[in-house]
Structure formats: C-alpha cells, structure tokens
C-alpha cells in the first residue's frame, strides 16, 4: 500500500524506484506476521528525532525475536542517502522494516538469522497547521504485554487499531479514544493523547499497553522546559469529557488538536498551539 506519490526503497543492497516486491509468499513475516517497522519524518530539510526512531525499530525487532541487520548509525546514514534522491526539503515518510523469512523451532517461532530488511521512503505532505480530529469511544481495547508485543512497533498490532477506526468512521468520527484492559484511557487508535484541565497538561502514564511515543516524549519535554506543568497519570473517559482542551501527538502529524469527543466539543486551545510551535522551533534548531 503506497501512501506517497514518489517512493524510493532500499532492499538487498540497492535503491529501487516505486513500490517493489520485497516479501515472498512463504516468508515467515508474510505468513505469520513477524514484521516490525518504525516511522520518522523529513520536512523542510529537517529530520527530527531520526536517531530514536532508528534505535526503536532495532529494539522492536529484538522484541519480536528478530536479529537487526543494521546498527542505528547505519540506518541513519542510509536514510540520508535516500533523502538525497528527493527534491530538497521534500516532506518524506521514513519507514524502516524488519521481518523474518524463515521459521525456527516449531515453525511459528521466527528464525532470527533469517531477518530481512528494507527502508521505504515516501513523499507525503505534512498535515496542514489547522488539521483537527474528532474522537469517540470504541468497544475494542489495547492489549497488555502478556497478550501481544505492545512494547514493539509491530505490524500485527494494527488490525486491532483498524477495527477501532472502522467503528469510529461508521459513527462519523475521525478517530477513537481507546481504553486499556482496566478501562482507563490509553491512547487513540493512531496516536498518543493529552488533555488540559485548569492549566495542567495530563496524559496517560505508560503502563505496558501502548508505546511511549517518541513525539509524545519530545512534547512533554518541550512543554516542561517552557514552564508548563505536565503530569503522566491514570485518566478516565470522564476526565476527557471534563477537559478544557485535548490534543494528540504522533510522528505523522506531530501535534493535532481534538475538537470533539463524543458529544463534548472543544476549542483549539492555547496549549495545543504552543506545543506545535515549540515542536517546530525545536525541530528547526535541531536541523
């Protein structure tokens, strides 16, 4: 599935244009879902937090029983090599992927020595500055680590997210606010979540049911450095209904205000605007 109009993919030692075939019918990753990925962003000549994203894909591979074939430093160099194939400043989605081609003991277990890799770069515009989302509840929940590899960015987790989104779209919303196994708010179907109440920024504490996102961590650090109180804590759906403002963070769109949760509507608040401005200022400084 191509999400961008121009694609460059590194696979088996060379760059390919377009959307090349990289997996075979009998690959373990095709058959049994042992595929992990990560996503970073390039825009305006900037590639913020590239190193943490490349380190995380290697960690995700290890969680899935795979053996990374490239170091973080090698992945960073490969990304910059690929970005040079685009026009300067192009908005690019950066997706490294690992999967196994062979099964080990008992077939279902991946053979770590059979790990395959590709790096897919797709030109994909950034979301407009005024982009927003609306949220509703969903009957589906985030699994715990004893059930699924939630400590990895694993492809096998995303069909669950997909059914959350189908349910939300059927109700006329763009995304879903999702519970953990205890019924507390974990994240949305696609991104981490924040709320503001009486001047305090609150976000669900990582509890082993969702990834502590790289952009999430960056926004927390930037807001705190700016003098804003940010607390990671247990939050309920009622807390979000009583919030003054709500916003999401994630790699694809960075900071996105939420204008509605179920029947509760919100204004685009000053904290979400400030978080976005802080992120862009930091990214320019890093670049």
Cα atoms found within 13 Å of the Cα of residue 205, Cβ hemisphere only: 6
Domain CATH number, residue 250: 3.20.10.10
Residue 128 lies in a domain: no
pLDDT tens for 218-240 read 999 999 999 999 999 999 999 99
Number of structural domains in the chain? 2
- Chain position carrying tokens 């003054």: 244
User: Who contacts 277 (Cβ-Cβ below 8 Å, separation ≥6)?
Assistant: none
| Same domain assignment for residues 153 and 282 | yes
* Segments forming the whole domain that contains residue 82: 7-123
In the prediction, which pLDDT does 2 show?
67
**pTM of this prediction?**
0.94
The continuous run of DSSP H or E covering 237 comes out as helix 237-241
What's the pLDDT tens digit per position in 171-189?
999 999 999 999 999 999 9
Question: Does residue 110 fall inside a structural domain?
Answer: yes
Nearest Cα residue to 66 out of 99, 37, 29, 93: 99
Q: Domain end: 102, 123, 144, which one?
A: 123
Pairing of strands 133-141, 254-261: parallel
Is 53 in a helix, a strand, or coil?
Answer: helix
pLDDT at residue number 23? 96
Distance (Å) of CA 55 to CA 37, 52, 134, 242, 269: 11, 5, 32, 37, 33
| pLDDT of residue 254 exceeding 70 | yes
Q: 7 and 18 in contact (C-beta within 8 Å)?
A: yes
What pLDDT, on a 0 to 100 scale, did the predictor assign at position 129?
86
Residue 195 lies in a domain: yes
Identify the domain boundary among 123, 154, 189: 123
Q: Are residues 73 and 151 in the same domain?
A: no
**What does the pLDDT look like over 263-272, one tens digit per residue?**
999 999 999 9
Query: Does residue 65 sit in the same domain as residue 113?
Result: yes
Q: Which of 123, 142, 175 is the last residue of a domain?
A: 123
Three-state secondary-structure class, residue 41: strand
Quick one: how far is CA 243 from the chain centroid? 24
Q: Confidence class of residue 262 from pLDDT cuts 50, 70 and 90?
A: very high
Query: Who contacts 78 (Cβ-Cβ below 8 Å, separation ≥6)?
Result: 10, 70, 119
- Give domain status of residue 152, yes or no: yes
- Please check whether residue 63 is in contact with residue 151, taking contact to mean a CB–CB distance below 8 angstroms: yes
Whichever domain contains 66, its CATH number is: 3.30.470.10
- Whether residues 105 and 143 share a domain: the answer is no
Please give the C-alpha separations between residue 3 and each of 64, 94, 120, 154, in angstroms, as whole numbers.
Answer: 25, 11, 11, 19
pLDDT of residue 105: 74
Does one domain contain both 169 and 210?
A: yes
Burial (CB count within 10 angstroms: exposed 0-12, middle 13-18, buried 19+), residue 183: exposed
């Amino acid at each position: 599935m191509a999400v961008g109009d121009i694609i460059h993919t590194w696979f088996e030692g060379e760059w390919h244009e377009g959307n090349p075939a990289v997996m075979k019918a009998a690959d373990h990753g095709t058959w049994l879902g042992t595929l992990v990925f990560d996503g970073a962003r390039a825009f305006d000549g900037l590639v913020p937090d590239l190193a943490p994203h490349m380190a995380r894909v290697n960690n995700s591979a290890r969680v899935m029983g795979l053996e990374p074939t490239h170091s973080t430093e090698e992945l960073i160099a490969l990304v910059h090599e690929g970005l040079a194939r685009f026009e300067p400043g192009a908005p690019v989605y950066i997706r490294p992927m690992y999967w196994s081609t062979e099964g080990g003991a008992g077939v279902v277990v991946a053979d770590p020595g059979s790990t395959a890799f590709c790096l897919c770069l797709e030109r994909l515009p950034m979301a407009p500055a005024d982009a927003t989302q609306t949220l509703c509840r969903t009957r589906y929940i985030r699994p715990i680590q004893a059930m699924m590899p939630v400590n990895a960015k694993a492809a096998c987790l995303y069909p669950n997210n997909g059914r959350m989104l189908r349910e939300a779209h059927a109700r006329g919303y763009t995304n879903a606010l999702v519970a953990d196994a205890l019924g507390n708010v974990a994240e949305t179907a696609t991104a981490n979540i924040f709320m503001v109440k009486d001047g305090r920024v609150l976000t669900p504490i990582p509890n082993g049911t969702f990834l502590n996102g790289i952009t999430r961590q960056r926004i927390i650090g930037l807001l705190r450095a700016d003098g804003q109180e940010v607390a990671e804590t247990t939050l309920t759906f009622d807390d979000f209904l009583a919030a003054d403002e709500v916003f999401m963070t994630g790699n694809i769109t960075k900071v996105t205000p939420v204008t509605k949760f179920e029947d509760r509507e919100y204004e685009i608040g000053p904290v979400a605007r400030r978080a976005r401005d802080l992120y862009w200022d930091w990214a320019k400084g890093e670049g």
